[in-house]
Amino acid sequence: LGPKLFVKPSSKSNRNLITNAISHCCLAGIVNNDVKNKVLEELARSSAKHFIILFRDAGLQYRGVYTYEPETEEVFKLIGTGPRYLNNRSLEKYYKYNSGSKSFSEITSTKHLSVSIDAIVPVSTVWKSSKPTAMRR
């Protein structure tokens, strides 16, 4: 038949990068072993190609891992705490993971999700509880 003239572009996965970020940065250390192993297990089990880490705020405190679908720009929770679904309107900061320095650097040149984003910080209202708090006496 000969060579194919058109090959559908396959989206490159950031699974290894996110695995490294979880292991060496977000959940490093013995105290985080249980949580880290659960997260890495879920990452390995997922069929998604692109993953995004959710941080609590600019302090980069790990909250969860989400799957990202570039075609639909949808972000769904895989594991951790946080909303089940996120979109561009609910995000405040975007980060890229540098595997050499084992650190995250903020990307200020964009205000939307893409496959080059490795971690996100949602707007603070995402963390506000919808449950009424009981009054203390």
Q: Which of 57-66, 108-117, 121-130 has the lowest mean pLDDT?
A: 121-130
User: What confidence score (pLDDT) does residue 88 get?
Assistant: 86
pLDDT digits (tens, 9 = 90+) for 6-43: 545 556 899 999 999 999 999 999 999 999 999 999 99
Cα(105)–Cα(37) distance, integer angstroms: 25
Q: How far, in Å, CA of 25 to CA of 108, rounded?
A: 21
Please tell me the predicted confidence (pLDDT) of residue 135.
52
Residue ranges of domains in the chain, CATH in brackets? 15-126 (3.10.20.360)
E-strand spans in the chain?
50-55, 62-69, 74-80, 85-86, 91-98, 103-106, 119-122
Report the relative pairing of strands 74-80 and 85-86 from DSSP bridges: antiparallel
Mean pLDDT score of the chain: 88
Entry pTM: 0.85
